[in-house]
Amino acid sequence: MKTMGAKEIGIRQIHVDDGFWNKRIRNAVEKVVPYQWRVLNDREPGAEPSHAIRNFKIAAGMEEGEFYGYQFQDSDVAKWIEAASYSLIYEDSPEIRAALDEAIGIIEKAQQADGYLDTHYILKKPDRKWKEIAHGHELYCTGHMLEAAVAYRAVTGDDRLLRVMEKNVELIRSVFGSEEGKLDSYPGHEEIELALMKAYHATGEKKYLELADYFVENRGTRPAFLEEERFLELSRENRWLEADYHQAHARIRDQKTAEGHAVRAMYFYTGAADVALEKQDPTLKAALDTLWDNVTGKRMYLTGGVGSQGEGERFTIDYDLPNDTCYTETCAAIGLAMWALRMLKLDPDAKYADVMERALYNNVLSGISEDGEHYFYVNPLMLKPDVARYRKDHESVEPERVKWFGCACCPPNVIRTLCGLGGYVYTQDGDAVYQHLYVGNKAQFFTSQGEASLSCESSMPWEGNASVTYHGPSGMTLYLRVPSYAENFSVKRNGEPLKPEKEKGYVRLTPQDGDVFTVHDGTLRNGSCKV
């Protein structure tokens, strides 16, 4: 089994068709993507005002008005574009295509001549561009919009938005760097690092890799943004907003514990893992393993939730995991799943897939209602509504899911995850394919011997059975995950029991055309118990 070499199969090559996930994805595609478009356009009664599309229209000169919302309001539109793009894989809706075309057209007009694109600073603080890196979110918004551009091109083949973001990235490259006259700094809120790596993989252009590498390796150096007036002001007022809040208290190889804002940390580690894979850097991989062990062994809830404290939305200390006051933001669990997927590409070890599965089925899904139109930002494990209304340390807790938030990072993040779920199922390393999740699906991929396909039918999580059918040439290797909770995992080939080799929590198989592998995890369900 190779290490530091795997990559995911392209998103259009995987179509999820699963008894557990189908209704959630179908609802996201048919109802939630249109619902969120209405919210972003302030056309949904009862939802918190968004103003996100209108901010872009004002910046584009299409309407008059003032900026409204948080400084990262643009990112809500970006995540919606990504979700809507993925939704076209399941239903090629003319209405959603038209909405995407409209959104991208507005963004094109809002972009300034030099490539700058951030409506908060265009409309509200034009004299403060690149002067509030710690808390300004310019690079964060760029990251999400760059992810959206890559997704839109991957699904539609249209590079309009990617051209916009390429111009934006060129501006950032001219502003940031270690050369004389540039800002030698890094993002206050990580995100652009992982987005740059997506752009690099999509285009092959080294400039994206180089900028991602610079931001990852530079984090923790001083002074960077640590001498900005706004950073100093907030860190003096609130000790939870010091350098560790931004994972800027040390260089990544010197960080031994997960600190600070949980979403920032997850996005940072995700981007760093992408860079480690591309550079084939074992020291960066080792640093990430140290952080992984700390997060998943000492600072993670059984639901895959991370970030136990509401103040600063952050990590605290080992084993500080209260049930009623835990924060466990939905976005942080999504970030954990993203990081786990990158670690699987670095090193296909089932321990990463176990956590990815745990987060996706629990803390991510708890953030959205069955109808897809109500959301949790915070996901405590225990809630007493009457208590939550009166306690200061419960002020972020909603007794019931709500239609939208003023700070609405989570709702579009959940939907882009649901619509893009296929991207979490497999990774590929040459002629080896790893199946990490037993999610029903049909997938096509390419080997050195030619095109091949896998289809999976799964009754998990309700029953511990799945079947995987292979069609294609000989010479490929299939690795099927053995979940950590599997008490007596078994696998058969065409009905005949096998005892295959097991490597890092995966069974190693050499399929032939037409082979059907059936797996059973041996775990008792449906109220059964062992005595």
Q: What is the spatial distance between Cα 322 and Cα 149, in angstroms, rounded to a whole number?
A: 39
State residue 79's pLDDT score: 98
The three-class DSSP label of residue 184 is: coil
Total-model pTM: 0.96
Per this entry, what is the length of the chain?
531
State residue 7's pLDDT score: 57
Show pLDDT as tens, one digit a residue, over the chain (531 residues).
445 555 568 999 999 999 999 999 999 999 999 999 999 999 999 999 999 999 999 999 999 999 999 999 999 999 999 999 999 999 999 999 999 999 999 999 999 999 999 999 999 999 999 999 999 999 999 999 999 999 999 999 999 999 999 999 999 999 999 999 999 999 999 999 999 999 999 999 999 999 999 999 999 999 999 999 999 999 999 999 999 999 999 999 999 999 999 999 999 999 999 999 999 999 999 999 999 999 999 999 999 999 999 999 999 999 999 998 899 999 999 999 999 999 999 999 999 999 999 999 999 999 999 999 999 999 989 888 888 888 888 777 888 898 988 888 999 999 999 999 999 999 999 999 999 999 999 999 999 999 999 999 999 888 899 999 999 999 999 999 999 999 899 999 999 999 999 999 999 999 999 999 999 988 755 443 332
Residue 151's contacts (CB-CB under 8 Å, 6 or more residues apart) are 11, 81, 82, 85, 86, 416, 420
Q: What is the spatial distance between Cα 173 and Cα 139, in angstroms, rounded to a whole number?
A: 11
Residue 43's contacts (CB-CB under 8 Å, 6 or more residues apart) are none
Q: What is the spatial distance between Cα 116 and Cα 107, in angstroms, rounded to a whole number?
A: 11
Q: What is the spatial distance between Cα 46 and Cα 216, in angstroms, rounded to a whole number?
A: 41
State residue 384's pLDDT score: 82
- Peptide bond preceding 223 in cis form (omega within 30 of 0): yes
* 8 Å CB contact between 330 and 366: yes
Sheet holding 441-447, edge to edge: 14-16, 441-447, 450-458, 465-471, 516-520, 490-493, 496-498
* 8 Å CB contact between 375 and 405: yes
Q: What is the spatial distance between Cα 68 and Cα 54, in angstroms, rounded to a whole number?
A: 9
170 tagged catalytic? no
326 tagged catalytic? no
Report which of 274, 327, 273, 267 is spatially closest to residue 300, judged by C-alpha positions. Answer: 327
Sheet holding 426-429, edge to edge: 426-429, 432-435, 477-481, 506-509, 502-503
Beta strand pairing call for 516-520 and 465-471: antiparallel
From the list 228, 313, 373, 457, the catalytic residue is 313
Beta strand pairing call for 465-471 and 441-447: unpaired
Q: Where are the chain's structural domains?
A: 11-424, 432-520
* 8 Å CB contact between 112 and 381: no
Amino acid letter, 112: Q
Fold designation for 432-520: Immunoglobulin-like (2.60.40)
H/E segment holding residue 398: none
Q: Which residues make beta-bridge pairs with 518?
A: 467, 492
Q: What is the spatial distance between Cα 180 and Cα 327, in angstroms, rounded to a whole number?
A: 42
Q: What is the spatial distance between Cα 291 and Cα 463, in angstroms, rounded to a whole number?
A: 33
**Alpha-carbon dihedral sign for residues 429, 22, 514, 356:** positive
432-520 shares the fold of 11-424: no
State residue 460's pLDDT score: 87
- Chain-centre distance of CA 346, in angstroms? 17
From the list 409, 410, 419, 456, the catalytic residue is 409
H/E segment holding residue 492: strand 490-493
Report which of 12, 184, 5 is spatially closest to residue 85, judged by C-alpha positions. Answer: 12
Q: What phi-psi label fits residue 301: left (phi over 0), alpha (psi between -120 and 50 degrees) or beta?
A: beta
**Is 11-424 a domain of CATH 3.40.50.2300?**
no
Q: What is the spatial distance between Cα 85 and Cα 151, in angstroms, rounded to a whole number?
A: 6
State residue 341's pLDDT score: 97
